[in-house]
Structure 1
Amino acid sequence: MSTTQSERLRGLLEPLVSAADLELEEIEISRAGRRRQLRIIVDSEDGATLDACAELSRAISAKLDETDAMGEDEYVLEVSSPGADRPLTEHRHYARAVGRLVRFQLQDAGELTARVLTVDDEGVDLEVPGVKGRKPTARRIAFAEIAKARVEIEFNRKDKKEEEA
């Protein structure tokens, strides 16, 4: 997708996404045979629900039908949340990951899996799980030290709300 088309779509769709109390994370256009696929990724502090994505999809579809932003060719519109396996790339992504287990690939080629405790403008405070019965340890990583980061899926972890009950 050309930068011009991306910027035009972002300018056109951002007000609709904001009106739905969501944030526009990404716009992707790809080819699927003869058709194009327009994929809009949205998120919020509380996540993007299926109902919110469906409602936003209808609004975006109507807006795109009013304009020539997608041209004359057929396209398929998909509005979705980023999913659990999305890489953490923005400060807000790290802030939303507080309390979650994250796998970090560090600039020095090291790797670390730890729970995010707090996030500020410079970096992330972590709790590194103890090994073989040892207690967890605290560690701080500056954003400049992080090459890649991704939330790890935990199937058997209890939420804090469940633990308090």
Structure 2
Amino acid sequence: MSSNSRIIGVSLGHRTLAEADHWILALDPAPVLACTHLVGEPFPHVAISVLSVSPITSPPELRSAADAAATGRSGRAVRFPGVERLTGDLTVGEILQRSSISRVDVLGGGPAEAGTVVATGDFVRPQFQGGELVLVTTPAAGGRLVPFERRDPTPCCADH
């Protein structure tokens, strides 16, 4: 990573997390770190912070959202060190060893045990919390955990 790397805020008006993820994953070269941020101004959308040496510009009307993303203290990480090694079923300990994730939590239950298996579904989106990258999980069948955020979540009331 170059000493000229810095966090840049980008706002292109992405309406969904999936749209923002797609834009991030299409960057070439891939950034070391890229996060999404939900912003409300000038309209609800997803802004992005990215560690980059290259300037990425936002339209003037979205500059305040880009600035908010660049200076935000939280974010949902799409690209982060080790993300490419978080595929398949891994133990909590393996996730912590293979990536920059600092902690794996069970929603409402605190830190997960190091030997507990996480079925990643090849889709891991940790959140920055208090300066640490934290993967929030939920219990699944067979004593396993799954990431709280799923690639293709079931819509609320899908069976109604």
| TM norm structure 1 | 0.33
Does 1 or 2 have the higher relative contact order (CA < 8 Å, sep 6+)? 2
TM-score (norm 2): 0.34
Who wins on radius of gyration, i.e. which is larger? 1
